[in-house]
A and B are shown apart, each in its own frame.
Chain A
Amino acid sequence: MRALRIIVRNPMSLLGLILVGIVVLSALLAPWIAPYPDHNGAVVDFLNNNRAPSLKNLMGTDLVGRDILSRIMYGYQISLVLGVIVLAIATPIGTLFGLIAGYRGGWVEIVLMRIVDIFLSIPPLVLAIAMMGVLEPTLTNAMLAVTLMWWPWYARLVYSIARGEREEGYVVAAEVIGASTWHIIFREILPNCLPAIITKMTLDMGFVIIIASSLSFLGLGVQPPTPDLGSMVAEGARYLPDSWWLTVFPGLSILVAVFGFNLLGDGLREALEVQS
Chain B
Amino acid sequence: MSQLVGILVRRIGISVVVLIGVSMLIFAIARIIPGDPARIALGPNATAEQIAKLRGEMHLDENIVIQYGFFIKDLVSGDLGTSLYTNRPVTLDIAQFLPATLELVFLAGVIMVGLGLPLGILAARFRNKWPDHLVRALALLTVSAPSFVWAVILMLLCAYYLPLFPIAGRLSDIYEIERVTGFLTIDTLIAGNVAAFLDVWHHLILPAVALALSGIGQAARLTRANMVETYEKPYIEMAQAYGFFPHRIARIYAFKPSLIPSLTIIGLDFAAMLGNAFLVEAVFAWPGLSRYGVNVILRKDLNAIMGTVLIIALTFLIVNIIVDLLIAVLNPRIRHSTRVQS
Contacts and interface: CB of A to CB of B under 8 A. Distances in A.
Answer whether A and B are interacting partners: yes
A254 B320 CA distance: 31
Interface string A241-276: 100100110011011001100110010000000000
B13 to A, nearest CB: 12
Given A121-B313, A126-B278, A134-B302, A258 B144 contact: yes
A237 B140 contact: no
Given A133-B300, A134-B29, A218-B282, A251 B309 contact: no
Q: Is the interface of A mostly helix, strand, loop or mixed?
A: helix
A262 to B, nearest CB: 5
A183 interface: no
A217 B282 contact: yes
B309 A217 contact: no
Contacts of A230: 146, 148
B149 A241 contact: no
Contact of B145 (A126, A130, A133, A258): A258
How big is the A interface, by class?
Answer: 35 or more
A259 B144 contact: yes
Interface stretch (B19-27, B123-131, B232-240): B19-27
A218 B294 contact: yes
Q: Is the interface of B mostly helix, strand, loop or mixed?
A: helix
Contacts of A123: 271-275, 312, 316
Interface in A211-247: 211, 213-214, 217-220, 230, 233-234, 237, 240-241, 244, 247
A103 to B, nearest CB: 18
3 tightest A-B CB contacts, nearest first:
A125-B275, A133-B297, A118-B21
Interface of A: 12, 114-115, 117-127, 129-136, 206, 210-211, 213-214, 217-220, 230, 233-234, 237, 240-241, 244, 247-248, 251-252, 254-255, 258-259, 262-263, 266
Interface of B: 14, 17-19, 21-22, 25-26, 29-30, 32-34, 137, 140-141, 143-146, 148-149, 152-153, 155-156, 160-161, 268, 271-276, 278-279, 282-283, 293-294, 296-298, 300, 302, 305, 308-309, 312-313, 316-317, 320
Given A123-B272, A130-B29, 20 more contacts: A118-B22, A121-B19, A121-B316, A122-B22, A122-B271, A125-B278, A126-B274, A126-B309, A127-B309, A133-B300, A133-B305, A134-B32, A214-B146, A220-B294, A233-B152, A244-B156, A252-B149, A255-B144, A258-B144, A259-B141
